[in-house]
């Protein structure tokens, strides 16, 4: 793909695209499985049970560490082989609650690349999750000044992208969604007629994974955020 595209409108995801996020949830899940120490369920079976709780509850509670903490508690209450003790419940809650205090760790080359892109294109940070939690991440990232706008949405669906295009009077042919999630960043943006850049991340949340829809000429796959400088 040529690097002389002219000025584009770039929608950029936050979690696991600009900064680390899901790795902290994965660490909490591993600690949760260790603490549960189920006598008959394998680690994969416990994880599958948690996934199902999350899949159901996300429609009600949304995303973020607070919702995740509720999911951990519900899963523990379902699977525990012992009488539920307040100290045990508190330990499970702390596994989820400590995620919010983790530092915002930018992924490699993000700061330099965002600065470069902001000098050539119009940037909008588009993330989903709990508004207060996401706002804090954005502020602590040190990147907000490079974006002409930021938006925190409940969900990233095809209609989300259509609404952004309509409200901002964008040309879909010159609008790109950049992110690590096939389910939220890539496929719905393509379905809405936008272009998309897929940047796979090793720790993308399992519920965000699905087959990437390949659309000729409108999908770019790169394996590091810094690679965007060769294309934009």
List per-residue pLDDT tens for the chain, 232 residues long: 444 568 999 999 999 999 999 999 999 999 999 999 999 999 999 999 999 999 999 888 888 899 999 999 999 999 999 999 999 999 999 999 999 889 999 999 999 999 999 999 999 999 998 899 999 999 999 999 999 999 999 899 999 999 999 999 999 999 999 999 999 999 999 999 999 999 999 989 888 889 998 887 899 999 999 999 999 9
Q: Measuring CA to CA, which residue among 128, 133, 118 is closest to residue 155?
A: 128
Q: Measuring CA to CA, which residue among 41, 34, 67 is closest to residue 155?
A: 67
Where in the sequence of the chain do the CATH 3.40.50.1000 domains occur? 9-19+104-230
CB 194 within 8 A of CB 172: yes
Where in the sequence of the chain do the CATH 1.10.150.240 domains occur? 22-101
Length of the chain: 232
Question: What does the alpha-carbon distance between residue 71 and residue 93 come to, in Å, rounded to a whole number?
Answer: 10
Longest dimension (CA), the chain: 64
Q: Where are the alpha helices (DSSP H) in the chain?
A: 22-36, 43-61, 65-79, 86-97, 110-118, 131-141, 158-168, 187-191
CB 38 within 8 A of CB 46: yes
Backbone CA torsion sign across 54, 55, 61, 62: positive
Q: What pLDDT is stored for residue 213 in this prediction?
A: 87
Q: What pLDDT is stored for residue 4 in this prediction?
A: 52
8-state DSSP, 12: E
22-101: CATH topology: DNA polymerase; domain 1 (1.10.150)
Q: What pLDDT is stored for residue 1 in this prediction?
A: 45
CB 156 within 8 A of CB 184: yes
153's enclosing H/E stretch is strand 149-153
- CA distances (Å), origin 32, targets 36, 68, 72, 80, 100: 6, 12, 8, 11, 17
Question: What is 9-19+104-230's CATH number?
Answer: 3.40.50.1000
């Amino acid at each position: 793909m040529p690097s002389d595209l002219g000025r584009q409108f770039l929608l950029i995801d936050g979690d696991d695209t600009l900064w680390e996020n899901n790795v902290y949830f994965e660490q909490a899940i591993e600690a949760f499985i260790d603490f549960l120490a189920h006598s008959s369920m394998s680690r994969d079976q416990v994880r599958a049970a948690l996934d199902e709780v999350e899949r159901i509850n996300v429609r009600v509670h949304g995303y973020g560490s607070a919702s995740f903490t509720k999911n951990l508690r519900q899963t523990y209450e379902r699977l525990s082989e012992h009488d539920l003790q307040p100290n045990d419940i508190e330990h499970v809650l702390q596994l989820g609650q400590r995620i919010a205090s983790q530092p915002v760790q930018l992924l490699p080359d993000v700061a330099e690349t965002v600065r470069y892109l902001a000098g050539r294109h119009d940037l909008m940070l588009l993330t989903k999750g709990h508004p207060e939690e996401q706002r804090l991440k954005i502020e602590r990232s040190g990147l907000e000044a490079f974006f002409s706008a930021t938006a925190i949405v409940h969900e990233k669906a095809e209609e989300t992208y259509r609404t952004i295009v309509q409200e901002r009077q964008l040309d879909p042919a010159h609008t790109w969604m950049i992110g690590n999630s096939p389910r939220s960043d890539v496929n719905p943006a393509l379905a809405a007629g936008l272009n998309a850049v897929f940047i796979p991340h090793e720790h993308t949340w399992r519920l965000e994974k699905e087959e990437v829809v390949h659309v000729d000429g409108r999908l770019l796959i790169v394996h590091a955020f810094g690679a965007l400088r060769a294309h934009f």
